[in-house]
Chain A
């Protein structure tokens, strides 16, 4: 089962509207992605909480359709 990178981005942005999402298809097979999600709304949250927000946005795809999504979250710099 594979997921399109644009679908992943759309799901994340619909749940976290201020998110800057960058997705790389690591193996070119539509199944191994690396995502970087930068959002001001992550401020004050732990890494675990930030990742949980992204996983929630993916509505159960993580661990299912998406086996391999390497995730990195951050808060925008310069504030």
Chain B
């Protein structure tokens, strides 16, 4: 399986997937850590994939999305954004809205 096929399978087999540096328990970059905090605050289950475990994955995900940086958040197979966009959407209540539109449950207290 090519790295592109692997990524494609991953983003389509979990509702919310975060490509990040480190793990949700131990983020190893401040930008990845911010997205982890937002997802945890919203109480949304997600799969974290650590790009530091694989140089192929680290390069492959950038090519897959035409996006030069990590973290990258995918919802239902669709690329939503990196750290700046996710933070901006979260602060505007748009991330919560998007997740709900995609049929995911957002923690009640976290709704805008």
Our verdict on whether A and B bind, yes or no, reads yes
Listed in ascending order, the chain A residues whose CB lies under 8 Å from chain B are 47-48, 51-52, 55, 60, 62-64, 70-72
B interface, size bucket = 10 to 19
Give Cα distance in the complex from A47 to B85, angstroms: 7
What residues of A have a CB within 8 angstroms of the CB of B85 in the complex?
47-48, 51
Interface of A, secondary structure class, is mixed
Q: B67 contacts the other chain (Cβ, under 8 Å)?
A: yes
Instruction: Chain B residues near A70: list those with CB within 8 A.
Output: 83-84
- Considering the complex, give the chain A residue whose CB is closest to the CB of B84: A71
Residues of A within 8 A of B46 (CB): none
Shortest Cβ gap from A8 to chain B (Å): 14
What is the count of residue pairs linking A and B with beta-carbon distances less than 8 angstroms? 30
> Which of B66, B69, B81, B88 has the most chain A CB within a 10 Å cutoff?
B69
- 21 pairs from A and B in contact (CB 8 Å cutoff): A47-B81, A47-B85, A47-B88, A47-B89, A48-B67, A48-B79, A48-B81, A48-B85, A51-B67, A51-B81, A51-B84, A51-B85, A52-B66, A52-B67, A55-B67, A55-B68, A60-B68, A62-B69, A63-B68, A64-B68, A70-B83
| Additional A-B contact list (16), CB under 8 Å, known A51-B82, A63-B68, A70-B83 | A47-B81, A47-B85, A47-B89, A48-B67, A48-B79, A48-B80, A48-B85, A51-B67, A51-B84, A51-B85, A52-B66, A55-B67, A55-B68, A63-B62, A71-B84, A72-B88
Docked Cα-Cα span, A52 to B81, in Å, equals 10
B68 A62 Cβ-Cβ under 8 A: yes
Residues on the A chain within 8 Å of B88, using CB: 47, 72
